[in-house]
Structure 1
């Protein structure tokens, strides 16, 4: 009983660090703060209740995973990949907090490992030159080599991949998915490009 309460306390501290120490200061999306907290505490409560009943813990954890996958699959707003990672981390913390049959130190260490991975993996300085953007160009460019050259000049960056999603020859527009790395431009300017689509005026 005491070990279970200790794990509950560790989980609450861990999800607080996850949400208020890592996610929100870096991404500033308030609605997902509620989602991560709700997923964590909900899974913690359900898994804890199932661990003391005749229902198999594996079945309970499988249902919890299915529920979270359904939420992510049927979401009404778009989630980035790093936000999906935070979802699963909040889920994993809740599961570890409910597994009182294992060592408290082991579960606490695994929680700390999850937080450490997100701290470094989602750090703003990690691979900060690399960007992913969907651009809308106000010109229809059919030649791939010319498209790459145009994008590199526009972004002042080295373009690694450029996948055309829509080419409109009537309205003279090109929608392209670009993966690139900044070269000589200011990083702050590069971050602004990663948020909003770029409209090119060149033909």
Structure 2
């Protein structure tokens, strides 16, 4: 994995564990020689990931919609900053420029990005690993919800392992590096769906 798309919040929650997690992610990826592809913002967890990766000598590629540049939230210190027309183009670039997806705590936008990465993997638009860092148990309920979707049958057994979960970053990155792509929906016959 040469580059990972990092999905996270642009907010800064009161509990310092989230900001510390973002900084740890940025430093660790840079130390491992893995570039960061992210939302291009300078605020919140996004900014912390970018700043920490840059401080550790890492590559940081920001992809930000024009409207957010106008709101003055763009991180001008990125290795590269791509300004795009909207969210669809932004997410396509995340996929095109990265070798996988790493989600850390965040809000609605982060969830949109995570579920799209999983959905696209199920279908076959990409075969890249999708990691979820369950820092401080933040995603416990989401992990249980995903497990319920598998148990009920809304997620096929072949796709149950797309979301790779761990509470520790190093272990999660190792699992992501070892990921073996599953059989995609595009490769299945109707009787197998």
User: Please, what TM-score do these two structures have when normalized by structure 1?
Assistant: 0.28
Question: Higher helix share goes to which structure?
Answer: 1
User: Please, what TM-score do these two structures have when normalized by structure 2?
Assistant: 0.29
